Structure 1
Amino acid sequence: MAGWIIGVGVAFAGVWLALVLALLLVTPGRPQLTEALRLLPDLLRLLRRLAADRDLPRGVRVRLGFLLAYLALPFDLIPDFIPVLGHADDAILVIVVLRATVRRAGLPAVRRHWPGTDDGFAALSRLTGLDR
């Protein structure tokens, strides 16, 4: 019985480590990360508006709904006590999902729902690679 419990613990640790490594691979640069954290309130409003837009493809809305549900949960993929990544996993996931949303729904949809300033949208464009 103890061997089975140890095996499950090792499996969970392995999955957690794989997720940490995956987030490290998609982590934006440090200046971009601080910029993303400053934009977080506008980003959350944008995500909510995009998820409610019936003109967007269903897959995009479902993806955005899952992201909003994850952001509302009291626990994180990476615990907050881990330096840098512990507090940055939300920003990283938002950026990854927004990149996928823009590829699928288009830049005009994101621009139409952006609640912030033009400077904020320019920062969002740099963070998500929309300006390329």
Structure 2
Amino acid sequence: MSHWLVGLVIAIAMMAITWGALMLLARHLPEGTAKELARFLPACLTTMRRLRRHPAVPRRARIAVGFAGLWVLSPIDLIPEFLPVIGPLDDVVVVALALRYAARTVPRDVLLEAWPGDPRLMERLLG
């Protein structure tokens, strides 16, 4: 039993160290596409929170955006988060699909107003 517990503690410590190192490296990324991609999921969560409360967003779009937000926050993923680069890929795909679905019924200026990042990234996402 104690060997199992030691292994679990080591695994949790390694994951925490890896996350810490990634966060430190992300702070030192040069301005541009790489830094915007590192900010993408947090910006998406902010956008979803703002869209859920906006009166111009219809119920179906709110449900889709809420589902995508829960998907991102959920610990259950199709691709485990601890895998570098491809870990958050399923989250990005779900968020992109939800925002594109919402863009069909939500005015474009509302979506751009809710997006905290570079508006060009949202324009590119929406097509």
The TM-score, its normalising length taken from structure 2, stands at 0.62
Aligned equivalent of 2:120 = 122
Q: In structure 1, how many angstroms separate the alpha carbons of the residues matched to 2:100 and 2:85?
A: 22
User: Could you say if the C-alpha distance between residues 57 and 103 of structure 1 is closer, same or farther in structure 2, counting changes exceeding 3 Å?
Assistant: same
CA shift digits 1:6-54 (9 cap, x unpaired): xxxxxxxxxxxxxxxxxxxxxxxxxx89854432222211111001213
Q: In structure 2, how many angstroms separate the alpha carbons of the residues matched to 1:51 and 1:41?
A: 16
Aligned equivalent of 1:48 = 49
Q: In structure 2, how many angstroms separate the alpha carbons of the residues matched to 1:128 and 1:77?
A: 24
Q: In structure 1, how many angstroms separate the alpha carbons of the residues matched to 2:59 and 2:37?
A: 26
Count of residues in correspondence between the two structures: 95
Aligned equivalent of 1:69 = 70
Aligned equivalent of 2:97 = 96
Q: Is contact 1:96–1:128 with CA below 8 Å preserved after alignment?
A: no
Q: In structure 1, how many angstroms separate the alpha carbons of the residues matched to 2:85 and 2:72?
A: 17
The TM-score, its normalising length taken from structure 1, stands at 0.60
Q: Is contact 1:60–1:104 with CA below 8 Å preserved after alignment?
A: yes
User: Could you say if the C-alpha distance between residues 33 and 95 of structure 1 is closer, same or farther in structure 2, counting changes exceeding 3 Å?
Assistant: farther
Residue identity (%): 36
Q: Is contact 2:71–2:94 with CA below 8 Å preserved after alignment?
A: no
User: Could you say if the C-alpha distance between residues 124 and 53 of structure 1 is closer, same or farther in structure 2, counting changes exceeding 3 Å?
Assistant: same
Q: Which amino acid aligns with 1:101?
A: A
Q: In structure 2, how many angstroms separate the alpha carbons of the residues matched to 1:58 and 1:66?
A: 12
The two structures, once aligned, show a CA RMSD in angstroms of 2.4
**Shift in Å, 1:87:** 2.6
